[in-house]
Amino acid sequence: MNWNELATALFGSDHTIAQEGDFLTGTVQFDGGPLAIIGTTNHAPIGVRLALKQARAVLDTVAGHPGCPILLLIDTQGQQLRRRDELLGINRAMAHLGMCIDLARRSGHRVLGLVYDQALSGGFITSGLIADACDALPEAEIRVMRIPAMARVTKLSEATLTALSKTNPVFAPGVENYVAMGGVRRLWNGNLQEALRAALSDAPTEDTRALEGEQRGGRNLAADVVRRVLAAA
């Protein structure tokens, strides 16, 4: 879904979210209270500059609007694949963004991620995946890599990977797979305003994703391994 359609459905056509290049920002009113919007569009590649823009918006929210919930609107093709970004320390800029979001969480802001279009690897890990909870629209796409590219890297046939992806969610793209693994909490089916209201009201503050993945049968090893480490002699 186009970000503006989504924003209009959620906050009305007079919403005050502004687009500047690939960057989205604004503060809207939702259910009578302020909600900070920080996001990206156009399947943005997240380079140093865009990571810092998002971090700036998070820091401004923490400094200027204590406790204001934050909605991260996610549409990214992943990290910027440029040598210059590597030289400038893109991993540090992304860690900085992740730590800004983490600070917001710890300072009493509820931080919610919403994958409204697509989310890939490096662009996702320091946004939705480090929020209190990450939801997605049903038509969103989440992946680390497409199956053909994955086949090349792993030297396994596309047919094998496609077949396995139907029985084991860890291999293949797909928003349902991320729900099954606990990485995405739920999909926003039906009325979007109701979905947002629910999402803000029951966002967990602890990281319970491994347990959810276990309960949903999509990630059967992680929670058990953590328990075994905690109990190991």
Residues 157-216 that bind other proteins (CB under 8 A): 160, 164, 168-172, 177-178, 181-183, 207, 209-210, 213
The torsion angles phi and psi of 138, rounded to 5 degrees, stand at -60, -30
Residue with smaller CB distance to other proteins, 1 or 176: 176
Cα separation, 124 vs 134, in Å, equals 10
Q: How many residues bind other proteins (CB under 8 A)?
A: 75
Residue with smaller CB distance to other proteins, 34 or 64: 64
- Give the pair of three-digit tokens for residue 213: 């993945």
Q: Which amino acid is located at 213 in the chain?
A: G
- 3-class DSSP string for 93-138: HHHHHHHHHHHHHHCCCCEEEEECCEEEHHHHHCCHHHCCEEEECC
Q: Which of residues 17-36 bind other proteins (CB under 8 A)?
A: none
Residue with smaller CB distance to other proteins, 105 or 197: 105
Contacts with other proteins, 126-145, as mask; x by CB under 8 A: x--xx-----------xxxx
Which of 22, 23, 96, 203 binds other proteins (CB under 8 A)? It is 96
Q: How many CB atoms lie within 10 A of CB 73?
A: 24
CB of 7 to other proteins, least distance (A): 26
